[in-house]
């Protein structure tokens, strides 16, 4: 098993873990963390798979660097939006989840 294939398989595993967390978890910050894990898996696949004449291809690497910058900015925006949602509603998950109130069942 070559190193690029190992990176691609680890990236696919991270994508699966992130997708599971995105669908299964109800807390908004945990969903955001799962989404970031899934994005990291995509970055690993994009770095691990493309090869150009035996060496790494610079175009996917440039896309991954750009994607990392965009992911950091999007994560910061999402944290601000989640915090604002919490201050407005007092809930840590989207409406419809009865266990999302801080004080328990009211």
Q: How many other CB atoms are there within 10 angstroms of residue 2's CB atom?
A: 9
Q: What is the pTM of this model?
A: 0.82
| CATH number of the domain to which 56 belongs | 1.10.287.3510
For residue 41, tell me if it sits in a domain.
yes
Q: What is the mean pLDDT of residues 41-61?
A: 86
Residue 75 binned pLDDT confidence (cut-offs 50, 70, 90) = very high
pLDDT of residue 94: 82
pLDDT of residue 49: 86
Higher pLDDT, 56 or 105: 56
pLDDT of residue 106: 39
Q: What is the mean pLDDT of residues 59-70?
A: 94
Backbone CA torsion sign across 93, 95, 23, 74: negative
* Domains identified in the chain, total number: 1
Domain that includes residue 28, residue range? 3-92
For residue 100, tell me if it sits in a domain.
no
């Amino acid at each position: 098993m070559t190193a690029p294939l190992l990176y691609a398989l680890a990236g696919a595993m991270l994508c699966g873990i992130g997708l599971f967390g995105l669908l299964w978890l109800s807390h908004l910050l945990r969903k955001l963390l799962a989404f970031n894990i899934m994005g990291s898996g995509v970055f690993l696949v994009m770095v691990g798979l493309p090869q150009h004449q035996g060496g790494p291809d610079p175009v996917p690497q440039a896309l991954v660097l750009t994607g990392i910058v965009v992911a950091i900015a999007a994560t910061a925006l999402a944290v601000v939006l989640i915090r604002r949602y919490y201050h407005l509603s007092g809930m840590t998950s989207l409406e419809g989840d009865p266990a999302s109130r801080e004080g328990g069942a009211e």
